[in-house]
Structure 1
């Protein structure tokens, strides 16, 4: 009888460990859209991005507004070459600036832990819902926390929220 109880406990723990989502790295090439709002400076912006993990490049095109007025941004960052290009389409100019930042692949950061797993869409019809994992973590260097949502099967980022004492 004790063996049966021990076996059921062990199998329950193994099943729980097996069903836990594991950290992942996003596909090497992605294109997407992003929206951002900050309380600091009242900045609201939306735009698109092109991500190349193999070439360690990121291009961001966005426009928005802040307390100082409207703005637009077209920025190509090439991390291997340690250079960024600020592109101004309206004047057809490009400004080359030094880039002193490491390339951070789009992934679940180390030290994050899973919070929830949900199906976006319907779970009642096989293959018709998107299984999403929610992750939580802290960035002690800047006293910030984050919540990230990634798809389960392809590790595609769906949403992210960062907060710090200033925000």
Structure 2
């Protein structure tokens, strides 16, 4: 009986040890993402650079918003509370206050595990990707969110969350690379560095999604 009890305890410990845990993505990432909304008002594709250590993000976007096409290039410097809207073609930019808080790519500690799955096939090595899907409540009871990350490395795959105006907002990330090939892209271009901070009457971005919508 003691042997059986020890065996059951050992098996339980192994199972508990294998349960996925909330995690934080690598501090330096680059890749691409797509954003779409449930009400079909927005579709966007963007290349991104992400620096959690310096709290900097660069987004180069193209897409449609309310049936109008757009392109957009933004450098977000959270520690300085400043954002640059960059026009590389004309060598010009606008410097604006950044009111959003920096949120690292991570699964919050209070998130609930929905399940683990293989994207692709588990029939043979290299044919599938093991991912974990989590869900939880947005701050201030704003709704629900659901995030999927890889089991190994905590690389973001997709995030969905609720908004009152757009319904569910879905962000899918792909071609992710750990590291940044050109860190200089996370600094303002020379023609932007003398730009003065301007107070705009238009509402400034206050969260990640508003970078895709408030500029129009």
TM-score (norm 2): 0.68
Aligned to 2:79: 80
Q: After superposition, give the CA deviation of every residue in 1:9-63 in whole Å (9 maximum; x if it has no partner).
A: 5334323311110111111111111111124571111111100111110001111
TM-score between the two structures when normalised by the length of structure 1: 0.86
The structure-2 alpha-carbon separation of the partners of 1:165 and 1:16, relative to structure 1 and needing over 3 Å to count, comes to: farther
Question: In structure 2, how many angstroms separate the alpha carbons of the residues matched to 1:156 and 1:52?
Answer: 14
User: 1:54 maps to which residue?
Assistant: 53
Tell me the equivalent position of 2:27: 28
- CA distance in 2 between partners of 1:46 and 1:154 (Å): 24
Unaligned runs of 5+ in 1: none
Asked if structure 1 preserves the Cα contact closer than 8 Å seen for 2:41 and 2:67, the reply is no
Aligned residues: 166
> Could you say which structure has the higher strand fraction?
1
Query: Does 1 or 2 have the higher relative contact order (CA < 8 Å, sep 6+)?
Result: 2
Structure 1 residues 114-123 or 151-160, which shifts more?
114-123
Residue 101 of structure 1, CA deviation: 2.2
Report deviation, 1:85: 0.4
Q: Please tell me whether the aligned partners of residues 142 and 164 of structure 1 are also in contact (alpha carbons under 8 angstroms).
A: no
Q: What secondary structure sits across from 1:36 in the alignment?
A: strand
Quick check: 38-47 or 77-86, which moved more? Answer: 38-47
Give the whole-Å Cα distance in 1 for the aligned partners of 2:141 and 2:69.
28
Structure 2: unaligned runs, 5 residues or longer? 168-216
Deviation larger for 142-151 or 36-45: 36-45
